[in-house]
Structure 1
Amino acid sequence: MMVWTIATATMCYCHTIGKFISHGKARLVAIFPAILILLLLPLRLISIHLGGPTSFFLAWLSTFKLLLFALGKGPLSSNPPLPFSHFVPLSLLPIKLFQTQHQPHLSNTQNSHTNLPSDKIPEKADVDVNNLTPPDNKDVSRNMQNSQVTKKGHKSPLHKVYAIMVFVLALLIPLYANKEVLHPKFILFLYCLHMYIGLEFLFGLTSLSARKLHGLELEPQFNEPYLCTSLQDFWGRRWNLMVNRILHPTIYEPVVNESTRFIGRKWASMIGVLATFTVSGLMHELVFYYIKREKRTWETWEPSWDSMCFFVLHGVCLAIELALKKALKGKWQLPRLVSWLLTVVFVFYTAVSLFVPALVRCHVYEKGIRELNVIAELGKDFYGLLRFV
């Protein structure tokens, strides 16, 4: 409660700063103490289920959003300015408003060329990692249908999905108790499944809460990542979309614009992809530092670099994929089933080999299981108390 109260007060300060100081160096200097506070707050939490999401939300997403806000860009900047009731949840939580006709107050940095007709897409689309190659008609149709259903307020079967997730997580806990008899790779696969379900549930619950409390229509954080047919499809349009939207204007675009002056626009996007994934790896190492601590204080940072290798490897492979797509110009493509199978196998194999072992060394899953067991015991005691009353 203390951490999130201070974080909310910090964003109140930033919202006030935005009214009196125009974007630029002066606003950046004024907001810098807020960024420092957000980086320090997760040190007060050592719980996996509380400290993990908090460090991701505050130390990564919120700080990057404030950097963009200082420059007059990103989801917190708009004309006219966002009201306080929208500014705070958008700055602290991994949510993003739908860009609909009912929201005309979008900043010029938020107006995406993807809303334009295909014959009027500006040349800047060539440097957009999400639009280097257009998605097929099936992807476009599916995304439009999902957006329309959400915007109209139709009831989605979220309660059923969450019930399934909770059920699967309940099945995983007994397996962890007998992991000595299971193959080590299968245990890592279970950890991958646990992580995905946990993130899907966490982001979905956050969006649902924001929708109920603030009446906001929100974009989903995941878009069926298990159906990805390429690395570009996985990272650009399906997995953790909020991180993609934050890294694109803060890292990708500046690197591409600077690299274009030296190597030309054709290859600058490759450098931008590598820089973006490198920063993502560094931020994951920082989050791992927060969640592996045992005390509410500073501890020596001992990065494993496994997660860094994971993201650098994916950055290199994605850059190669984009280069091949540019060279082939759509003349030849793998069958959809084959591309799906290759992508899913590659993502899972690299995650099991590099990303998950880094979490295992941080004792993330051991701490998480202990916390879940405590929560289960508290639930039993509470249920027993209710029956007694």
Structure 2
Amino acid sequence: MVSLINAWCLVIISLSYTYVVAQFVPKGIRRMILFIPVFLYFFIVPLSLSTIHSIGITAFLISWLANFKLFLFALGKGPLISSNSRPLSLPIFLAVSLFPIKIHLSPKPTTSNRVSSKEGLLYYTIMVTLLILMTKVYEYSSKLPDKAVLTLYAIHIYLYLELILSITATVVRAMSSLELEPQFNKPYLATSLQDFWGRRWNLAVSGILRPTVYEPTVQLFSVLDPNWSRVLGVFSTFVVSGLMHELIFFYMGGMMPDWKVMWFFLIHGFCTSVEIAVKKKVNGRLRFPTGISRVLTFWFVMVTSLWLFLPVFNRGNIFERVLEEYAYAGEVAAKTKSIIASLL
């Protein structure tokens, strides 16, 4: 906890530095050069941490998202630039930099909003319950087939990311009085790879990769046919995503990559590019029924995940360390509860 607090304090100081620099240095190369020490620090900060949860969260939020946001900010683009002429206030600037959120103006709460909030509370309560149950199931993982254990990992990752991102959004919403867009949109209902990656799975990542990788690539290859430049933009986005995932697993597992995760994203990038090209060619004349499209998409994502993406968790003993941290947190909570009870 001490190392985590120290690291995040330095992160906040670094972001405050970039905020001040931007007040005096116009967008462009000079601002980018002045941001270089922050970029470098954000890439090495996970190495100062020791627990899987702190490393994973910091690597994702700071080494990846915050760095990419600052890169856009140096060029006068991205979510850190206010939609009006006035700059964001420092607290809002820090919130948007630190967390995977996209802020938009919120209408006043209505009855339907309150109902949906109750439904959301029930939904997340169920997810927490499932996570707790899964930690119990892991105790019997030695008796389960390897693919079944990896499938549990996949469910665990989705539930964990959904909860972490939603809790983050709730905290920031309470602190800033702003409405925050959800980061997942029922990815299990995706009807295509383009739908899964572009509109349903971890929208914070797709939202930051679009202006940092996809759009510049499309502009770079604008001399080609527009359809080809978009396909190259999509594939380049998956390449960068694969590299960043390999980096995060390096932080978490402390091992050099075997590039299976990279191959996962290359395959998905290639197939998504082909899918987009085919859709352009047929122009809506050929469509699978929605139910079949959902089954095929889910099957493809799960099969490739079990083959290439999820085995990295076994290779780095990541889930074993996660369970150890859960157990330790449970012990601390139990001791804290007994201490409070004795004092009362």
Report SS of the residue matched to 1:340.
helix
After TM superposition, the score normalised by the length of structure 1 is 0.83
Q: CA deviation at 1:212?
A: 1.0
1:290-329 residue pairs with structure 2 within 5 A?
290-293=251-254, 302-329=256-283
Instruction: Tell me if structure 1 keeps the 8 A contact 2:106–2:179.
Output: no
- The structural deviation recorded for 1:48 is 1.1
Pair 1:226-2:188 in alignment? yes
Q: Is the 8 A contact 1:211 1:218 kept in 2?
A: yes
Q: Deviation digits for residues 257-279 of structure 1, max 9, x if unmatched?
A: 11122x22121111111111000
Q: How does 1:177-196 map to 2 (within 5 A)?
A: 177-196=139-158
Q: 1:39 to 1:148 in 2, by over 3 A?
A: farther
- The partner residue of 2:219 within 254, 257, 272 is 257
Q: Indicate how the Cα distance of structure 1 residues 236 and 149 shifts in structure 2: closer, same or farther if over 3 A, else same.
A: farther
Q: Show the counterpart of 2:238.
A: 277
Per-residue deviation, 1:204: 0.5
| Aligned residue number for residue 93 of structure 1 | 99
Report if the CA contact (8 A) 1:274-1:316 is conserved.
Answer: yes
| Greater RCO structure (CA 8 Å; 6+ sep) | 1
Any conservation in 2 of the 1:151–1:217 contact (CA below 8 Å)? no
Q: Does 1:338 align with 2:344?
A: no
Residue 386 of structure 1: how far off its partner (Å): 3.0
- Pick from 51, 57, 60 the counterpart of residue 53 of structure 1: 57
- What do you get for the CA RMSD once the two structures are aligned? 1.9
Q: How does 1:50-129 map to 2 (within 5 A)?
A: 50-78=54-82, 79-98=85-104
Q: d(CA) in 1 for partners of 2:339 and 2:89?
A: 44
Residue deviations 1:310-359 (CA, integer Å, cap 9, x gap) = 11110001001001100010111000000010001111111111111112
Aligned partners of 1:75 and 1:268: how far apart in 2? Answer: 25
1:121 maps to: none
Q: Is residue 268 from structure 1 mapped to residue 229 from structure 2 by the alignment?
A: yes
| 2: CA distance, partners of 1:150 / 1:348 | 35
Distance, in Å, in 1 between the alignment partners of 2:112 and 2:93 is: 22
- Aligned equivalents of 1:148, 1:233: Cα separation in 2: 30
1:68/1:44 CA distance change after superposition, 3 Å: same
Q: Per-residue deviation at 1:387? A: 3.1
Q: What is the one-letter code of the residue matched to 1:53?
A: I
Size of the aligned set, in residue pairs, is 337
- Sort the Cα spacing of 1:88 and 1:162 in 2 relative to 1 into closer, same or farther, 3 A: same
1:86 deviation in Å? 0.7
1:358 aligns with 2:312: yes
Offset of 1:171 from its aligned partner? Answer: 1.0
Q: Residue in 1 aligned with 2:18?
A: 14
Asked if the contact 1:46–1:290 (Cα under 8 Å) also holds between the matched residues in 2, the reply is: no
**CA distance in 1 between partners of 2:225 and 2:181 (Å):** 34
Contact kept in structure 1, 2:242 and 2:262, CA below 8 Å: yes
Q: 2:201 aligns with which of 239, 249, 254?
A: 239
- The answer to whether 1:348 aligns with 2:302 is yes
Aligned to 2:122: 160
8 A Cα contact 1:150 1:217, kept in partner: no
Structure 2 residue ranges without an equivalent (≥5): none
Contact 2:105/2:179, CA 8 A, preserved across alignment: no
AA paired with 1:41? V
- Letter of the aligned partner of 1:226 in structure 2? Y
Is the alpha carbon distance of 1:378 and 1:152 closer, same or farther for their aligned partners in structure 2, counting shifts above 3 Å?
Answer: closer
Deviations 1:264-305, CA, capped at 9 Å, x for gaps? 212111111111100000000111111113xxxxxxx51121
Contact 2:12 2:94 in 1 (8 A): yes
Which runs of no fewer than 5 residues in structure 1 stay unpaired?
103-146, 294-300
CA distance 1:228–1:152, shift in 2 (3 Å): same
CA distance in 1, matches of 2:111, 2:279: 32
1:39 counterpart residue number: 43
Q: Which residue of structure 2 lines up, in the alignment, with residue 30 of structure 1?
A: 34
**Superposed displacement of residue 162, structure 1:** 2.4
